[in-house]
Amino acid sequence: MKLIIAIIKPDRLEAVKQELYKEDINLMTVNEVLGHGRQMGITEVYRGAKEMGNLLRKIRLEIAVNENYVEPTISAIIKGAQTGEVGDGKIFVLDLAECVRIRTEERGGVAIG
């Protein structure tokens, strides 16, 4: 089991979701986060007071999958989120030790999907 965490541009979320649905991946958690990679943030000015290097809004997706879904998930996220510009984001893949479905107390691979 793997936990896939992706940081993407907010306006790509809809496209990424559609790509994931095509691969039959329907379960995900979505967060709004602030991020700052190589892309520079935009300077903000409040009554003349400058705030430099601010963070930009990003979307963070968390998807837990069984091994056979790892590559389809990654390629679906890339398909939906890639624009070719700086700031497209990152995908992290982590090992997942356990997964429990609270309703039924099932554990492991069956609990994920």
The residues that touch another protein, with contacts defined as CB under 8 A, are 9, 11, 14, 32-34, 42-46, 54-57, 85
CB 37, min distance to another protein, A: 15
Of 28 and 56, nearer to another protein (C-beta) is 56
d(C-alpha 27, C-alpha 39), whole Å: 29
CB 97, min distance to another protein, A: 30
Of 66 and 82, nearer to another protein (C-beta) is 82
Q: Give strand ranges (E) for 16-105.
A: 29-35, 44-46, 49-51, 56-65, 89-95
Of 41 and 72, nearer to another protein (C-beta) is 41
CB 46, min distance to another protein, A: 6
Question: Which residues contact residue 28 at a Cβ distance below 8 angstroms, ignoring those fewer than 6 apart?
Answer: 17, 20, 61, 62, 63
CB 62, min distance to another protein, A: 17
Q: Which amino acid is at 17?
A: K
Of 18 and 75, nearer to another protein (C-beta) is 18
d(C-alpha 2, C-alpha 47), whole Å: 47
